[in-house]
Structure formats: C-alpha cells, structure tokens
Amino acid sequence: MSDTGDHSFSWKIPTGDNLKRQVCDDCGWIHYENPKIVVGAVCTWGDKILLCKRAIDPRLGYWTIPAGFLEENESPEHGAAREADEEAMAKIEIDALLGIYTIPRISQVQLMYRAKLVSDNVAPGIESLEVGLYAWDEIPWSDLAFPTVTWALEHFREAGDRIDFAPFTNPPGMILD
C-alpha cells in the first residue's frame, strides 16, 4: 500500500483460498488478517520481579509484567526488551523462552521470556502508573491484569534455574477460546 493512498475494501474469498478476506476494490490487494503476537518478559533483579501497574486500558490499574504487541520488522526478543524499556524504562537481558500461550478467542499468541535486569534502575514509562521490584510473596496475585501474567509468573517459579527446557504452554484446561 502506498504511504498516503486510500483504499476501500470488501470481504471476498480470493481464488484458491477458502476463507473470506478483505480485498481492495481498486487494486485487488488482499489484506490477510492473522493472529497477533504479544511479547513480554518476567524480569528479575536478584530474587525480585519487575511489575508494572497499567496506566492504560484494558485493565487500567492492574499489574502486569512488561508485555505488548510485537511490531513489524522486529524479532520477539527485541520486542520483549522494547516493552520493558517502554513500560518500566528497564534494560534487560533475555535468557530463555519461558512460555508460549495461545488465546484463540482474541487471536493472540504470547511469547513470554525470562530475563535479568541489567540494573535496578526502573521507572514508570507512559503506559505505567507505577513500577516496582517485588519478592515472590509480595506479588499482588488478585490484582494481576491478565491470566497469562499469572501463568508466566507461575511458570517462572516452576522453571527454577533450568536453562534448557520446553517452553510452558496454557495450563491444562485453560484453552480460553
């Protein structure tokens, strides 16, 4: 698509396809809608975990690990580090893929990493009301923003100091679709 052009779309099944897609009425360009990737990280400083209180909807005022949508031309690891920087002004080093969670209902695949903070110098970015480093028993479990935040934290604990492990997936029965 041109940087300035306007397009109008209709829903059609393209030749050789089996699902309806948005097709440009003028040029025939097919706009495929596909699931989006969320990237995030459980980031630690010693035995403390970085949490951010959300300043934006959805779930404003609830706590999350730094996470957000992967952008075009970005690797998942880079995206997770960017989110930590944007939400908590935190510099991190990723050391493992902790979990891959799927939420078919909203067409999301979440890649949650495990990372170490490079320093304990963290501060709220524009999307956070407050950020902090919390010990395991200080985590506000009932005020976490999303189920996948809870899963990532639990899987972080379960992974312990293992390095070479299959990433966790949705807990049994938690299909969320």
**Cα–Cα distance measured from residue 175 to residue 177, given in angstroms and rounded to the nearest whole number:** 6
**Cα–Cα distance measured from residue 46 to residue 135, given in angstroms and rounded to the nearest whole number:** 9
Q: Does 41 bind a second copy (CB under 8 A)?
A: no
Cβ-based nearer residue to a second copy, 73 or 119: 73
**Cα–Cα distance measured from residue 83 to residue 81, given in angstroms and rounded to the nearest whole number:** 5
Min separation Cβ 24 and a second copy, Å: 10
Residues 113-172 that bind a second copy (CB under 8 A): 126, 163-167
Cβ-based nearer residue to a second copy, 54 or 133: 54
Q: Does 22 bind a second copy (CB under 8 A)?
A: yes
Min separation Cβ 9 and a second copy, Å: 6
CB-CB neighbours of 172 under 10 Å? 6
- C-alpha distances (whole Å) from 87 to each of 14, 51, 55, 56, 126 are 40, 10, 10, 11, 7
DSSP-assigned beta bridge partners for residue 103: 108
**Among the listed residues 56, 60, 118, 135, the single contact to a second copy using CB under 8 A:** 56
Residue 111 · residue 37 · CB < 8 Å: yes
**Among the listed residues 120, 138, 158, 177, the single contact to a second copy using CB under 8 A:** 177
The torsion angles phi and psi of 170, rounded to 5 degrees, stand at: -50, 135
Q: Does 27 bind a second copy (CB under 8 A)?
A: no
* Residues engaged in binding a second copy (CB under 8 A): 1, 3-4, 6-11, 16, 19-20, 22, 25, 32-37, 56, 69-76, 78, 96-97, 100, 102, 104-105, 107, 109, 111, 126, 163-167, 175, 177
